[in-house]
Amino acid sequence: MISKTLSDIGNVSVYPVVTLVIFFTIFSVMLFLVLRGNKSTYDKMAHLPLEEDGPTGRPFGAKRLIGEDHVK
């Protein structure tokens, strides 16, 4: 049934080629942007979840747990 449906579509062989070209283009652009990026910025972003910037000693953006104010 699927082969019959696909054979009824005109120029169906063009779609895989177009899809491959779109994928390769987006992949190449993203690879170029990542490799061209600033490594110090990437290192800074990689350590953001581990930094403790809040006044409570919790990582920045972490929410207070229920009952946490009673625990020391």
The DSSP symbol for 53 reads -
pLDDT digits (tens, 9 = 90+) for 7-54: 777 777 888 899 999 999 999 999 999 999 888 888 888 877 666 655
How many distinct structural domains can be found in the chain?
Answer: 1
Residue type, 26: I
Which pLDDT belongs to residue 55? 53
Dist. CA 13–CA 22, nearest whole Å: 15
Which pLDDT belongs to residue 42? 85
Mean pLDDT calculated for residue range 53-63: 56
Residue 62's domain spans which residues?
2-70
Closest CA to 57 of 72, 37, 42: 72
The DSSP symbol for 47 reads H
Report field, pTM of the whole predicted structure over 0.85: no
Which pLDDT belongs to residue 25? 98
